[in-house]
Structure 1
């Protein structure tokens, strides 16, 4: 605990993420980075990024995603969920899609499974979140494709001699 009114910087970080309080978040993040842990987990095992996604604190989510050292694929202790799992399960589809897109754009993995073996797409309610499920499934396919070395694919497709320049030229 810090001497400031009882709340530690880590607690303030969590509170800001839960309530989308950008002023409080900025106050914590502008302080010396040794005074808080950007990936701090509370007793339930959630980080500020989990709470921002779970609470649809999109302003805080956006700020946190740009913070150096943030673990975008951090897994909580209770369910084994990542922030992407929390975002995909958010009830408002438009907000959920926005958060999911932000997280994917910043490197969140759609293939991580929680303790119930669910991906983020599995956590999205099937009756209302079809667009989110489709987006996450596309992102997972894209990640699988990106995992293959593109140079290998190009080499496989250039077996015929088409008269183009070779590596030796």
Structure 2
């Protein structure tokens, strides 16, 4: 039993720590093959496996990837249907977005925009909610280094987009456009 190797959970978390896309893709493929072999819904099984992959302090795979700035791994994870993107860890009740902001804060100022901001942006683009408060009652924008005005602006725009989300008028391609100018 001891020579079976790492569990899928351990492999997922290691891939997230090391930004190892090939390990993550291989593990997801193995999970999918296992689900298919046992007659389970592949998408649900992979999502459940990813959602249950937590470390000892309750950090999920997205938390770990955000903590280590693993952009490419985040990109793969966020493409997985059914992945819980606003999971909170047990220790600080941080979301992956909180962890991403802490990661940016840990970088040298010269790395904020080229290295750190894309981590926050990919999470926001995937629908992570910047309005969620952690155990200390702080939203991600409140964790951001006050000198990092660009990051603060990115997070504020994300909050606004979430808040105004229901107020956005969507284009309707089924009816008239209100203008007959393109008919001659």
- Per the TM superposition, whether the score is higher than 0.5 is yes
2:17 matches 1:4: no
Aligned to 1:88: 101
Say yes or no: does 1:132 pair with 2:151.
Answer: yes
Unaligned runs of 5+ in 1: 152-163, 165-169
How many residue pairs were aligned? 151
Normalised by the length of structure 2, the TM-score is: 0.75
Alignment of 1:18-37 (within 5 A): 18-33=17-32, 34=45, 37=49
SS in 2 for 1:30: helix
Quote how far apart the aligned CAs of 1:4 are: 2.9
Question: Does 1:97 find its partner at 2:109?
Answer: no
Q: How does 1:107-118 map to 2 (within 5 A)?
A: 107-118=127-138
The reply on whether 1:119 has 2:139 as its aligned counterpart is yes
Q: Is the 8 A contact 1:50 1:83 kept in 2?
A: yes
Unaligned runs of 5+ in 2: 33-44, 171-177, 179-184
How far apart are 1:133 and its partner, in Å?
0.8
Mark the CA change 1:2 to 1:97 in structure 2 (over 3 Å): closer, same or farther.
Answer: farther
Distance of 1:139 and 1:88 partners within structure 2: 13
Query: Matched residues in 1 for 2:62 and 2:2: separation?
Result: 22
Query: Structure 1 residues 122, 28: CA separation in 2 closer, same or farther (over 3 Å shift)?
Result: same
Question: Which segments of structure 1 move beyond 6 Å, counting only runs of 4 or more?
Answer: none
Report the Cα offset of residue 96 of structure 1.
2.0
Please say if residues 54 and 87 of structure 1, whose CA atoms lie closer than 8 Å, have aligned partners that are also in contact: yes
